[in-house]
């Protein structure tokens, strides 16, 4: 079957072409769709199997990272997005896309009413982080995107990546239910609680993370690709997991 992915773009988004390419390399028919197109034709969302929210600085992050983008979805597309999620389809948000998902409230969404329960705030160091690091994946996580993954070198580039929760109770629930899908392994670049780099929802189908797997889709992307004889852009594995899930379940 043809797995259709919509990479949602808009003002200030700058990683949409990378993300479109990543899904294409992994085997999906991926296209970039402006958020305004979805607002003008809300049912358009249902034409796709996967919704992908890219990185960037949506609307300049002037009111907070991802906040305006999240508001547009809550105001205009909540009904269609809930229908999309309830149909068993997939969502991924990377960096600014992760910020959009948590501020929209669809992740982790324990209460089921889109109340934001976690957030991503300014890095502890107060500076923009742009570097490569190692992450580890939680083998007990429900996340279908990280299935069979162990560790990965991956780049980060963010100024507001510090993962926090509304309360200790929410953090305990996230940990207890194995919703942490990926953690910073060798160093914590932003002060995220419990080294959390990405989480999933209770279904395992909605995934948000701060690192950029779409920026490691060719061996040459890695800064040590020659010395370490890297033969594959490992970030592709995440997107391939999502595509395979759709093929197996639709």
Q: Which residue has the higher pLDDT, 70 or 217?
A: 217
**7-18: pLDDT as tens digits:** 999 888 999 999
What pLDDT score does 70 carry?
A: 86
User: Is 212 an active-site residue?
Assistant: yes
d(CA 96, CA 149): 23
What pLDDT score does 110 carry?
A: 95
Structure tokens at 159: 């100024």
**186-205: pLDDT as tens digits:** 999 999 999 999 999 999 99
Q: Name the band, by pLDDT with cuts 50, 70 and 90, for residue 63.
A: low
What pLDDT score does 67 carry?
A: 82
d(CA 16, CA 56): 8
Q: Name the band, by pLDDT with cuts 50, 70 and 90, for residue 60.
A: low
> Angle at CA 66, nearest 5°, toward 126 and 89?
130
> Angle at CA 104, nearest 5°, toward 168 and 202?
55
* pLDDT more than 90, % of the chain: 88
Beta strands in 21-128 (DSSP E): 29-34, 50-53, 90-94, 118-121
Position 92 pLDDT exceeds 70: yes
Average pLDDT over residues 103-110: 95
Are the C-beta atoms of 180 and 141 separated by less than 8 Å? yes
Average pLDDT over residues 111-121: 93
**120-168: pLDDT as tens digits:** 999 998 899 999 999 999 999 999 999 999 999 999 999 999 999 999 9
User: Is 49 an active-site residue?
Assistant: no
**Whole-number Cα distances in Å, 54 to 23, 35, 76, 166, 218:** 12, 12, 19, 24, 18
Lowest mean pLDDT among 41-45, 58-62, 71-75, 236-240: 58-62
pTM over 0.75: yes
Q: Which of 18, 214, 222, 234 is catalytic?
A: 214
Number of Cβ within a 10 Å radius of residue 238? 30
d(CA 32, CA 20): 7
Average pLDDT over residues 32-40: 95
Rounded to 5 degrees, φ, ψ at 103 are: -85, -20
Q: Which of 18, 20, 49, 95 is catalytic?
A: 95
**What is the rounded average pLDDT for all residues in the chain?**
94
User: Is 214 an active-site residue?
Assistant: yes
């Amino acid at each position: 079957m043809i797995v259709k992915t919509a990479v949602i773009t808009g003002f200030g988004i700058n990683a949409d072409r990378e993300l479109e390419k990543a899904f294409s390399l992994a085997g999906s028919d991926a296209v970039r769709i402006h958020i305004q197109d979805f607002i003008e034709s809300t049912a358009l969302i249902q034409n796709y199997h996967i919704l992908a929210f890219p990185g960037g600085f949506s609307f300049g992050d002037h009111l907070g990272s991802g906040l305006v983008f999240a508001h547009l979805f809550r105001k205009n597309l909540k009904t269609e997005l809930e229908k999309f999620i309830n149909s068993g389809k997939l969502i991924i948000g990377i960096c600014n896309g992760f910020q959009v998902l948590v501020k929209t409230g669809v992740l982790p969404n324990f209460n089921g009413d889109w109340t934001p329960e976690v957030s991503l705030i300014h890095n502890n160091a107060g500076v923009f982080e742009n570097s490569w690091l190692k992450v580890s994946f939680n083998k007990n996580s429900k996340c279908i995107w990280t299935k069979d993954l162990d560790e990965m070198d991956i780049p980060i580039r963010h100024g507001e990546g510090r993962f926090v929760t509304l309360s200790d109770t929410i953090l305990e629930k996230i940990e207890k239910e194995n919703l942490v899908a990926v953690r910073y392994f060798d160093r914590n670049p932003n002060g995220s609680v419990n080294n959390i780099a990405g989480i999933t929802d209770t279904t395992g189908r909605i995934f948000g993370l701060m690192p950029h797997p779409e920026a490691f889709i060719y061996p040459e992307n890695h800064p040590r690709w020659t010395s370490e004889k890297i033969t594959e852009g490992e970030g592709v594995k995440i997107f391939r997991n999502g595509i395979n899930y759709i093929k197996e379940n639709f």
